[in-house]
Structure 1
Amino acid sequence: MQTLPKDRRYETLSYLPPLTDAQISRQVQYILSQGYIPAIEFNESSEPTECYWTMWKLPLFGAGSTQEVLNEVQACRSQYSNCYIRIVGFDNVKQCQILSFLVHKPNSSGGRYY
């Protein structure tokens, strides 16, 4: 067994290599298929003490396709390329956030993000 290198870990899926566009698309499809409401959030920092992120527009209540969500991620990224951007899935029955994962890190070297 090997210890992971000491790197900053972020949120759900952070121990995996950066997600490809296809993998991000499948995660968004999972959010939609579970009936969760996707939202896009951004923040200049990803420090654990920063528990409040800014929401990009309103949650995507009527999102019917993965591409709609990814288009909003791209719009957010083009305006806030210097920020961390994540997709969040909300459960409207439990009234809470079920999952979230990063889709963009500023000045990321190496892996790809949408």
Structure 2
Amino acid sequence: MSEMQDYKSSLSDASSRKFETFSYLPAMSDEQIRAQVQYIVDRGWNPAIEHTEPQNSSGSYWYMWKLPMFGETDVDRILQEAEAAHKAHPDNHVRLIGYDNFAQSQGASMVIFRGTPA
């Protein structure tokens, strides 16, 4: 049996915190982020962008970047909004969410830009 890897993480070290499944993997490339946006669009989910300071990322409240993009299917527009949020808040984590209207929940949520811890 192989050894399980211990992911060092603590509240006192904001850079070590994990957010969701994707945060245990290497940072996504631009093409991989585009594929995730396409996945959200293909399912008819409504994309939204949120951001927060790294030290507050384990809380349930993140700042919404504008309103959710109800009905938006243009992947480039969604990516432009994510990049605009990152540019406006370069030290914050920025995450992409796909809201599933049918289940009335988040169908997808992933940090696509990581900020710098204070």
Please classify the TM superposition score into its range, dividing by the shorter chain length: 0.7 to 0.9
The aligned counterpart of 1:74 is 83
Query: What's 1:16 paired with?
Result: 25
Greater helix share, 1 or 2? 2
d(CA) in 2 for partners of 1:71, 1:55: 15
1:34 corresponds, among 25, 35, 43, to: 43
List structure 1 segments (4+ residues) > 4 angstroms apart after TM superposition: none
Whether 1:103 aligns to 2:112 is yes
Unaligned runs of 5+ in 1: 109-114
Distance 1:54 1:23 in 2: 24
What is the rounded CA distance, in whole Å, between the counterparts of 1:37 and 1:12 in structure 2?
A: 21
Which residue number in structure 2 is paired with residue 61 of structure 1? 70
* 1:12–1:100 CA contact under 8 A, matched in 2: no
TM-score by length of 2: 0.82
> Cα deviation per residue 1:49-86 (whole Å; 9 max; x = unaligned)?
x1011110010113122111100011111111111100
Consecutive unaligned residues of structure 2, counting only runs of 5 or more, are 9-15
> Among the aligned pairs, what percent are the same residue?
38
Moved more, 58-67 or 15-24: 58-67
TM-score w.r.t. the length of structure 1 is 0.85
Partner deviation per Cα, 1:14-70 (whole Å, 9 max, x = no partner): 22111000000000000000111110000113542x101111001011312211110
What amino acid does structure 1 have at the position aligned with 2:114?
K
Higher relative CO (CA 8 A, sep ≥ 6), structure 1 or 2?
1
How many residues end up aligned between the 2 structures?
A: 107
